[in-house]
Structure 1
Amino acid sequence: MKFINMLVLIMSLALYSHTFAQTETENSLKDSLYIQEVESDKQPIKVLHAEPLYIDLIRDLGARKGEKEWNVGIGMTDKLSHDSYEALIEYEFAPIDRLGLEVELPFTFHSPIGNASEDTILANKIESLKIATQWTFFVNERMATSMAIGYINEFVLSDFKQFGSPVLTGNVYNPFLIVAKRWGNNFHSLIYTGPVIEQDFESKEYHSTYDINTSFHYMIPGTRNFIGVEFNQTVDTGVLETTIRPQMRVGITDNLMIGIVGGIPINRENERLSSFVRLIYEPRHHKKN
Structure 2
Amino acid sequence: MNFKLMLTSVLVLTLSLHSSAQTDNAVQDSLYLEEVEAELPAKVLHAEPLYIDLIRDLGARKGEREWNLGFGLTDNQDFDTYEALIEYEWAPINRLGLEVELPFTFYSPVNGTDDEAVPSNRLESIKVATQWSFFVNDRMATSMAIGYINEFELGSFADFGKPLITGNVYNPFLVVAKRWGSNWHTLVYTGPQVQQHYRTNDWHTTYDINSNLHYMVPGTRNFIGIEFNKTLDHGDFDMTLRPQMRLGIADNLMVGIVAGIPVSRENERFSSFVRLIWEPGAPDTPRKK
- Report the TM-score when normalising by structure 2: 0.91
Match of 2:11 in 1: none
Q: Which aligned pairs between 1:73-222 and structure 2 lie closer than 5 A?
A: 73-222=70-219
- Report the TM-score when normalising by structure 1: 0.91
Match of 1:36 in 2: 34
Query: How far, CA to CA, are the matches of 1:266 and 1:120 in structure 2?
Result: 25
Residue identity opposite 2:35 in structure 1: E
1:221-279 CA deviation, whole Å, 9 max, x = no partner?
12110000000000001111000000000000110000000000001010100000000
1:89 offset after TM fit, Å?
0.1
Query: How far, CA to CA, are the matches of 1:205 and 1:250 in structure 2?
Result: 43
CA contact (8 A) 1:43 1:288 kept: no
CA RMSD in angstroms, aligned pairs only? 1.4
CA contact (8 A) 2:195 2:203 kept: yes
CA contact (8 A) 1:84 1:110 kept: yes
1:24 offset after TM fit, Å?
2.3
Query: How far, CA to CA, are the matches of 1:170 and 1:99 in structure 2?
Result: 27
1:139 offset after TM fit, Å?
0.5
Partner of residue 268 from structure 2, selected from 238, 263, 271:
271
1:126 offset after TM fit, Å?
0.2
**Percent same amino acid at aligned positions?**
65
Q: Larger radius of gyration, structure 1 or 2?
A: 2
Match of 2:21 in 1: 23
Matching of residue 240 in structure 1 with residue 241 in structure 2 = no
Residue identity opposite 1:208 in structure 2: T
Q: Which runs of 4+ in 1 moved over 6 A?
A: none
1:114 offset after TM fit, Å?
2.5
1:23 offset after TM fit, Å?
2.4
1:288 offset after TM fit, Å?
7.5
1:25-71 CA deviation, whole Å, 9 max, x = no partner?
2222111111101101x420000000000000000000000000000
Residue identity opposite 1:26 in structure 2: D
Partner of residue 226 from structure 2, selected from 226, 229, 235:
229
Matching of residue 57 in structure 1 with residue 90 in structure 2 = no
CA contact (8 A) 2:64 2:285 kept: no
